[in-house]
Structure 1
Amino acid sequence: MNGNVNNRSYYPNARYATVFQEENIEAKKKQGWFGTRHFVTFMLFLGMANAYIMRTNMSVAIVAMVNHTAIENDNHDHAVSVDDECNVESVNQTIHHEELNGEFVWKTDVQGYILSSFFYGYVATQIPFGILAKRYGNIYFLGIGMLINSVFGLLVPVAANMGIWWLITVRFIQGLGEGPIVPCTHSLLAKWIPPNERSRMGAFVYAGAQFGTVISMPLSGLLSECRFGWPSIFYVFGTVGTIWCIFFLIFIHEDPQSDTKINTEERLYIQKQLGSKIGLPIPAVPWMSIAKSMPFYAILLAHMGHNYGYETLMTELPTYMKQIHHFSIKDNGILSSLPYLAMWLFSIFISHVADFMLTKPFFTHTLVRKIINGIGQYGPAVALLAVAYTGCDKWLTVAVLTVGVGLNGGIYSGFKVNHLDISPQYAGILMSFTNCMANLAGLLAPIYAGHVVVGTPSIAKWRIVFITASCVYAGCCSFYVIFGSGERQSWDQPAEDPAEKKENDEPQMITTRA
C-alpha cells in the first residue's frame, strides 16, 4: 500500500474520515474549561437540588403544621417523660405557644404516613420510566416529570386544609413526577460525561441532593416563621422548581449529537472518549444476565441500605431535634441542615480523590469504588450508633451527626457511579431498578420511626430508630465490599455497527504489487 495514511481514500467508509481529527482532539484541548457537558452537569445538579428540596421541605414544614400541645395532652403514656430525662422544663417555658401549636393534630404514626406518601409515588415510576427513557429519550420524562412535581407542590397547602387524604394524594402525585429524575439523570451522564470525568461530574450532580437539603431545611424554617407561615414553603419552592423545568426543557439536549450549538471539537472529544457511534440500533436489554450479576446485586444492596439510613435522618431528624432537644423551628432547620452541608462538601472533595486514585496503576476501579463507598457507609453507621448514646448532650449529637452524615458523601463516588462502570450502556435502567428498590426500603424508614416513637417520645425510643439504621447501613455496605466490582460486565456489549459487520463478513482479498 502506498500513500499518506491521512488520505481519505484510504478509508472504506466516509465515517472514518474524521478518525485522525478525533485522535488529535485531546492534545488540542480546545474544548475549554467550561463546555456544554459542564453546563449539562450544572443543570442536572440544579435539577437534583430541586428534587430534594421538594422532597425534604415537608420534613420541616410538618413541625410547624402540627399542634404539639394537643398531641401531648392527648397522650396517656406518661411512663417516661422527655422533660424529666433531659431536665429541660425551663426551656419549655420559653417556647412560644404559637410555635408549639400548628393547625393539625397528627400523631407521629400519622406523620410517618404523610412523610412516606411521597415515596410511594416516587418508586412507582422508577422502572417504567427508566425503560421508556432508554428507548424514547430522557429529556421530556425528566423535565415534564419535575414540572408535575413542582406544580403540585404549590397545591400542598390547599390539600392539607381539605383533609389528610387530599394531602397524601398530592404528595403521592409529586412523587410520581419526581420518579424519572435519578434514572434519567444517570442515563444523561452516561451519554455526556467521559469515563475519566465521571467521579467528579457524577458526584457534583448527586451532591445537588445535599445542596437542596442544605437550602431547604434552614430556608423552610425561616419561611415557616414569616408572615405567610408554613404555606410559603411550598409556594416559594414550587415556583423555583417550575422555572428550572422550563429552562431545562429549552436548553438541554439528549446527547452531544443532537445539540446543534455544542463546539464541534468538544462533541468529537466526548464521542471518542465514550466510543459513541451515531445511528446504531438499540440492543435488547440482557435481563437474564443482569438478574444473575452479583456486582449488580452489590450495588442494589448498597443503595437500599443507604436510602434506609438516609431517609431515617432526612425525614425524622427535624422531629427528633424538636422532641428531644427542643430546638425552635428556625434553629431546627439550620441545625438539621448542617450534616447535609458537610456531606455536600465532602462528596466534592472525595470525588477528586477518587479520580486521582484511578490515575494510579495500583488502584483498580473495583478497589477505588469499595474504599470510597466504605467510607461513605461505614462512617454514618458508626455515627448513628454513637448518636443513639449521646443522650441529652444536644451539641455533641449535632457534631456526631454532622461528621457521620458528612462522610456519607463518599457514596456518590462509590456505588452511585458504579452503574456507569459495570454497564455504561444500561446505566439508566440499572439505576431505575436499584433506585426503585432503595426507595421502597427508604419509605419504610419514616413509618418504622413513627411507630417506634408513637406516644410520649423518649431517648430510649429514638435509640432503637438510630441503632436499626446503623445496622442496615453496615450490613448492606459489607455485602457491597464483598461482591462489588468496578469492571465493565461481559453482558454490556455495545451494539454492532451494521456497516462494520458487513465489512467483517465480506471475504478479504490480498493483492500484491508487481
Structure 2
Amino acid sequence: MTSNSKNGKDFHKTKYTVVTIDDNIDGAKKKPVWFGTRHFVTFMLFLGMANAYIMRTNMSVAIVAMVNHTAISKLSEGHNDSESVDTECGHFIINGTSAHKEADGEFVWETDIQGYVLSSFFYGYVITQIPFGILSKRYGNIYFLGIGMLINSLFGLLVPVAAKFGIWWLIAVRFIQGLGEGPIVPCTHALLAKWIPPNERSRMGAFVYAGAQFGTVISMPLSGLLSVSEWGWPSVFYVFGALGTIWCIFFLIFVYEDPFSSPRINDDERKYIQKTLGVIDGAATPRIPWRSIAKSLPFWAILLAHMGHNFGYETLMTELPTYMKQILRFSIKDNGFLSSMPYLAMWLFSIFISHVADWMLSKPYFTHTVVRKLINAIGQFGPAIALIGASFTGCNKWLTVAILTVGVGLNGGIYSGFKVNHLDISPQFAGILMALTNCLANLAGLLAPIYAGRVVKGTPSQAKWRIVFLTAAIVYMGCCSFYVMFGSGERQTWDQDRNQQQNLNEKKKRETKENKTETTSA
C-alpha cells in the first residue's frame, strides 16, 4: 500500500485485507526488538483508554461530594422504612472526624436520581457504537476516535455549569459525553488489528485495555482529593477535561491509521507487521457477513461474556464509592483511594496474565480456544465469588475492601479472554464485532446504576446492597458459563470471502501433499 494519506483519509480508496495469519512466514520472525512505532501507537491507545475511563468514572466519586446526604436522610423519613438513617455499622471515626458529619454537597438527589445521572453517560455511549464501527471500517478510525474523545473532553468541562442549571442539563451534558466516547472501543480494536501482529495481541491488547483500570486508579483517588480541596468538586471536571483535550490533540497529530500510511515507521518494522498479518496491498475488503455473524455461536459467546462483564463491572465502578460512603462510612477523601484499589489490582493482574496467555499460546498443547476460555473463566468467576463474599462481610470494612480488591483484580483476566477474542475469530471485522458487543454490553451496563439506585432507595442497608452484589454475581457466572461452553479462539470461515478461503484451502492441501512426499522419500 503506497498511500501516504494522513490518518486514513483516503482509506476507502486504497484498502487492504488480512488474508492469513502465519507467524512462520519467511522474515516474519525478524521482528524489531526496540521500541517501535507499533509500541508508540499502543501506548497512545493505552492513554486514550485511560482518558475514556477517567471521563466515565470521575462522576462516581464527585457525586458523593455533590449530594447533600443530610437532606436526603430527612427526606427518607417519608418512606416506609422504620429508620431514616442507617446505623447498622455505627459512625466510624476517620482522621479524627466523624465520617457522617463530613461537609454535604448542594444537590438533594436521592439514590434513584443519582442512578439516572450515573447512567446518562451510557445512553449516549451505546448509540454511537455500531454506526461509528461501520463508518470507521470504510473511512478509517483516527478521526472518529480523536474527535469523538475531544467532544467528550470539552463537554466534561461543562459539567459543573450544567449541574448548576439543573438535573436535566447535567444529564444532557453527560449524554453528549457518552456520544463522543462511543468510538473509543471499536476504533481501538480495529487499530490493534492493523498494527499488532497476532503473536503480540494478548499482551498488547491487554496493555491497551488495562488503560481502563489505569484511568480508574488515577480518577478515583484524585477525584476524592479534588472534591475536598478548596476548589471543590467542579475542579474534578476541569482538570480531567483539560488533560483529555491535550491527549486528543497529540493523538490526531502523531497517530496514523495503519503502518502503510505512517511516515515515521521503520521499514523493517513495516515489513514485519505486513508479513505477520499477511497483508495484500490494494485488495478489496469483502462485505460484512451479517447473516453469518448472527448465526455464529462463538460470536454470541463473546457477546454474552461482554454483557455479563459490563453489568458486574459497572455495578462496582459506579456504585462502590456510594456503598463505601453509605455503609462502610469512609470519608470522601479515603473513599476515592480505597475505591481505586480493586482497579489497581485489576490493572496489575491483567498485565501479568496477558504474558501468561502469550506464553501458553507459544506451547503446542494450548490452543487459542483453551487459553481464551481458561483465562476468561478466572476473569469472571473470580469477581463473582468476591461479590458473594463481600455480601456477607457485615461491618468489617477492611475485609470487604480486601475481598473486592482480590476479586476485581482477577477480573483483569477478561482482557486476555473475551476482550481480544474478536481478533481471533475475525481479524478483518474485529472493529465491527467489538462495536456490536460493546453496544449491547453497555446497554446491560447502563442498567446497573439504575437497578442499584432503585434497590437502595430510601434507607440504605446491608440487606439492600446484598441484593445488588448477588445480582451482579449471578449475571457474571451465567454469562461466563455460556462463554466456556460455546466460545472459540479459531478464525471463523465467514471472516474470508470464498476466493480467499479457496486459495487457503488449496495452499493447505499442497503443503500436506509436500509433507507426505518428504516423509515417503525419507
Q: Same fold (TM over 0.5)?
A: yes
**Matched position secondary structure for 2:431:** helix
The 5 A counterparts of 1:134-213 are 134-213=137-216
Matching of residue 39 in structure 1 with residue 40 in structure 2: yes
**Matched position secondary structure for 1:320:** helix
Distance 1:95 1:161 in 2: 28
CA deviation string 1:43-68 (max 9, x = no partner)? 00000000000000000000000000
- CA 1:294/1:23 → structure 2, altered by over 3 Å: closer, same or farther? closer
Determine if contact 2:25/2:276 at 8 Å carries over to the other structure. Answer: no
Distance 2:245 2:454 in 1: 35
Structure-1 residue corresponding to 2:110:
107
Matching of residue 471 in structure 1 with residue 474 in structure 2: yes
CA deviation string 1:307-362 (max 9, x = no partner)? 00000000000000000011000100000000000000000000000000001111
* Aligned CA-pair RMSD: 1.9
Following superposition, the deviation at residue 195 of structure 1 comes to: 0.3
Determine if contact 2:314/2:445 at 8 Å carries over to the other structure. Answer: yes
Matching of residue 74 in structure 1 with residue 72 in structure 2: no
Following superposition, the deviation at residue 91 of structure 1 comes to: 7.0
Q: Residue 359 of structure 1 is aligned with which of 359, 362, 366? A: 362
Decide which structure has the larger Cα Rg and report it.
Answer: 1
Determine if contact 1:60/1:221 at 8 Å carries over to the other structure. Answer: yes
Structure-2 residue corresponding to 1:60:
61
Matching of residue 452 in structure 1 with residue 452 in structure 2: no
Distance 1:27 1:127 in 2: 36
- CA 1:466/1:27 → structure 2, altered by over 3 Å: closer, same or farther? closer
Determine if contact 2:114/2:453 at 8 Å carries over to the other structure. Answer: yes
Structure-1 residue corresponding to 2:300:
297
Matching of residue 330 in structure 1 with residue 328 in structure 2: no
* Equivalent residue pairs, number: 478
CA deviation string 1:95-136 (max 9, x = no partner)? 378734101000000000000000000000000000000000
Q: What amino acid is the match of 1:32?
A: V
Following superposition, the deviation at residue 73 of structure 1 comes to: 1.0
Distance 1:82 1:352 in 2: 48
Distance 2:177 2:42 in 1: 24
Determine if contact 1:82/1:324 at 8 Å carries over to the other structure. Answer: no
Distance 1:310 1:304 in 2: 10
Following superposition, the deviation at residue 86 of structure 1 comes to: 1.5
**Matched position secondary structure for 1:84:** coil
**Matched position secondary structure for 2:244:** helix
Distance 1:159 1:64 in 2: 16
Moved over 6 A (4+): 89-93
Matching of residue 268 in structure 1 with residue 268 in structure 2: no
Distance 1:80 1:487 in 2: 57
Distance 1:456 1:315 in 2: 19
Q: What amino acid is the match of 1:430?
A: L
Matching of residue 287 in structure 1 with residue 290 in structure 2: yes
- Which 5+ residue runs of structure 1 have no aligned equivalent? 1-21, 505-514
Following superposition, the deviation at residue 213 of structure 1 comes to: 0.2
Determine if contact 1:302/1:415 at 8 Å carries over to the other structure. Answer: yes
- Which 5+ residue runs of structure 2 have no aligned equivalent? 1-23, 508-522
Distance 2:58 2:176 in 1: 16
The 5 A counterparts of 1:10-21 are none
The 5 A counterparts of 1:492-511 are 492-493=495-496
Structure-2 residue corresponding to 1:51:
52
CA deviation string 1:389-442 (max 9, x = no partner)? 111100000000000000000000000000000000000000000000000000
Matching of residue 407 in structure 1 with residue 415 in structure 2: no
- CA 1:28/1:119 → structure 2, altered by over 3 Å: closer, same or farther? closer
Determine if contact 2:73/2:84 at 8 Å carries over to the other structure. Answer: no
Distance 1:386 1:81 in 2: 27
Q: What amino acid is the match of 1:67?
A: N
Determine if contact 1:425/1:494 at 8 Å carries over to the other structure. Answer: no
CA deviation string 1:199-233 (max 9, x = no partner)? 00000000000000000000000001111100000
